[in-house]
Amino acid sequence: MGNTRLTWLGHSCFQIDAGGTTILIDPFISENPKASVRLEELEPDIIAVTHGHSDHFGDTVSIAQKTGCTVVCIHEISQYLKSKRIKTSGMNIGGKIELAGIHFIMTDARHSSSIDESGWGFDGGRAAGFVIKFDDVSIYHAGDTAVFGDMDLISKLYHPDVAILPIGGRYTMDAKDAAFAVEMLRPKIAIPMHYNTYDVISQDPNIFAQNVKSLSTADVIIMEIGSYIIL
């Protein structure tokens, strides 16, 4: 640990900078009322998209067209992006790929997926999460999901040091359920996301932190939008 910078850009969007490579997860920027950066500032080498919903798929197309970066995503979204001549690395749940020396493992998520960009019901395949592994640190970004028992298996297989989890409720698990996710995942650090972007997902992250304390030894880091931590 010590070489990886993790920045929260709001909602479920995180940027990871490690060893000269920049990864952007779920780049929902231009339509995000709470975004802390402008689209033009982003120059990722890789974008990882958890599912097709607009608050995750977000600005993937425009960023990828501008930068020529590679998009890591599930097969169906990959097909959609290829039709727009975007470079992709398609995969599916349980699969592993390596790009620029970084390992991406696509995990299950209990959620739906459709690509909202083209209107109703364009098939986005399944919703997913990612474990992203560097030399010395493993980060699990859950995407949108309910809590599920196989988070215990994700822990056993991939040993995430950091778990980034949605806590907003309504469309995902809430601050109570997400604490049980932390208990199963056994990370060193748990970071809440996907809350307070809109009124319908308002949630107090301190409640998440309190709930985690009663179930796990993980440190909860409540990040400010635009801030980063070093891992």
Contacting residues toward Ni ion, per CB under 5 A? 53, 144
Q: Which residue has the tokens 């992006």?
A: 81
Dihedral over Cα of 79, 129, 64, 123: its sign: positive
Task: Compute the least distance from the CB of residue 22 to Mn ion, in Å.
Answer: 23
Stretch of 25-33, 99-107, 125-133, 136-144 contacting Mn ion, by CB under 5 A: 136-144
Contact between 108 and Mn ion by CB under 5 A: the answer reads no
Residues in 44-103 that interact with Mn ion by CB under 5 A? 55
Under rule CB under 5 A, residue 144 binds Mn ion: yes
Separation CA 47–CA 12 (nearest Å): 13
Read off the tokens for 145. 């999901």
Instruction: Please report how close the Cβ of residue 173 comes to Ni ion at its closest, in angstroms.
Output: 12
What is the four-CA torsion angle of 191, 165, 74, 13, rounded to 10 degrees? -50
- Decide whether 144 or 183 has the Cβ nearer to Mn ion: 144
201: DSSP letter: G
Give the whole-angstrom CA distance, residue 43 versus residue 205. 30
Q: Cβ 115 to Ni ion, closest distance in Å?
A: 11
Closest to Ni ion by CB, 144 vs 177, is 144
* Residues at the interface with Mn ion (CB under 5 A): 55, 144
